[in-house]
Amino acid sequence: MSAQSPVPRPLTDHPDRQFALRQYERRSSVYDAELAWFEPLRIAAIDALLLQPGCRVIDVGCGTGLSFAPLMERLGNEGGIVGIEQCPQMLDLARERIRRYGWHGIELIEAPVEQARLTELADAALFHFTHDILRSTAAIENVLGHLQPGARVVATGLQWASPWAWPVNLFVWSAALHSVSTLEGLDHPWSLLARYLPDLRVRPTWLGGVSMATGVWPGA
């Protein structure tokens, strides 16, 4: 195994930024095709944000910008997206997507979410398949600290199903191995978010192997 190889790896009990950077550097060229199966879930997550034209949304760990088109459809020309992404190769594809569609109003921040310099308050935040980020209190606090009180927050991603649903967990495990840097918290990926969003509701889907958590940021 080369020092660069993303799998197999030690299972750390916290997100490993360097590992995640290498993981997505390698995966960037095939990422959009791999995510095709999950597109209905993306639309459900974006619908759950209840966006209005003119809103401003933080797309946390925006990757290649797969959420931009459905977000822009709902936000219109007056709205805005702030995409935060630490992996340069993923972000290059997001930039290319913006150029191709000629969108205005999308700001990209190349940084770990924990350190992203957000300047304006947003009306909503989307964490779509961002397990590493959801397991970082500093990242969550940076995003929530830049939301308007009453902002909606939606977090989707892999989650361990019930132990008896072992085929589902086999899928979760194999998908997690090449998409997250830690399995910590995979039983309740949204648990850190729940500390800040008292009304957080969690809906399991995909036979319990994926969850969608929806809540409202009450303000500091």
Ligand X SMILES: C[S@@+](CC[C@H](N)C(=O)[O-])C[C@H]1O[C@@H](n2cnc3c(N)ncnc32)[C@H](O)[C@@H]1O
How do strand 210-216 and strand 147-158 relate by DSSP bridges?
Answer: antiparallel
Q: How far is the CB of 180 from ligand X (least distance, A)?
A: 8
User: 140, exposed or middle or buried, with CB in 10 Å at 0-12, 13-18, 19+?
Assistant: buried
Closer of 18 and 163 to ligand X (Cβ): 18
List beta partners, residue 141. none
Q: How far is the CB of 25 from ligand X (least distance, A)?
A: 9
User: 111, exposed or middle or buried, with CB in 10 Å at 0-12, 13-18, 19+?
Assistant: middle
Q: How far apart are CA 83 and CA 58, in angstroms?
A: 6
Q: How far is the CB of 163 from ligand X (least distance, A)?
A: 25
DSSP H/E element including 43? helix 39-48
Q: How far is the CB of 48 from ligand X (least distance, A)?
A: 14
Q: How far is the CB of 164 from ligand X (least distance, A)?
A: 27
- The owner of tokens 């095939």 is 30
Return the SS3 of 123: strand
Residue ranges binding ligand X (CB under 6 A)? 17, 20, 24, 35, 61-63, 66-67, 84-87, 90, 112-113, 128-130, 132-133, 139, 179
Residue facing ligand X at closest CB distance: 63
Closer of 20 and 193 to ligand X (Cβ): 20
DSSP at 7: S
Cβ proximity of 212 and 202 under 8 Å: yes
Closer of 48 and 198 to ligand X (Cβ): 48
Closer of 77 and 174 to ligand X (Cβ): 174
Closer of 43 and 77 to ligand X (Cβ): 43
